[in-house]
Amino acid sequence: QLQLQESGPGLVKPSETLSLTCTVSGGSISSSPYYWGWIRQPPGKGLEWIGSIYDSGSTQYNPSLKSRVTISIDTSKNQFSLKLNSVTAADTAVYYCAKYYDSVKSGFDYWGQGTLVTVSS
């Protein structure tokens, strides 16, 4: 059974960089083809897609976050990561990593439990 687990600091200062890692167990992250994504949920709000990484490291990002987001993959550690720079209080959210069931044009069949990241000084 595939499992995903987010990890990283729960508190980030404004203007700094939020860094999270998703560790995949129960399967190889690089089983071709692969499609992985990050989604977040601010307090009291809905789900927001952040971005995806697929095939040989290709990426797609939410246009509203594109200038601040980087998603990368480390196949040797079976992990993929999210970096969001210049954070503000508006970036406070529960962050989820997830796997697409087919291509990046499909949906997410496996999710991590989520990790709360608070942006505050």
Partner 1 sequence: QSVLTQPPSVSGAPGQRVTISCTGSRSNIGADYGLQWYQHLPGTAPKLLIYGDKYRPSGVPERFSGSKSGTSASLAITGLQAEDEADYYCQSYDNSLVGSVFGGGTKLTVL
- Contact between 95 and partner 1 by CB under 8 A: the answer reads no
**Closest residue by Cα to residue 96 from 42, 26, 59:** 42
**Shortest reach from residue 91's CB to partner 1, in Å:** 17
- Contact between 69 and partner 1 by CB under 8 A: the answer reads no
- Contact between 105 and partner 1 by CB under 8 A: the answer reads yes
Per 3-state DSSP, what percentage of the chain is helix, strand, and coil (rounded to 5)? 0, 50, 45
Measured at the alpha carbon of residue 70, what is the angle toward residues 64 and 75, in degrees to the nearest 5?
A: 140
- Contact between 80 and partner 1 by CB under 8 A: the answer reads no
Tokens 């729960």 found at: 10
- In the bound state with partner 1, the residue whose beta carbon lies nearer, of 15 and 58, is 58
- In the bound state with partner 1, the residue whose beta carbon lies nearer, of 88 and 106, is 106
- Contact between 51 and partner 1 by CB under 8 A: the answer reads yes
Residues sharing a CB contact under 8 Å with residue 92, sequence separation 6 or more, in sequence order: 42, 43, 117, 118, 119, 120
Q: Which residues bind partner 1 (CB under 8 A)?
A: 37, 39, 46-49, 51-52, 60-63, 96, 101-102, 104-109, 111-114
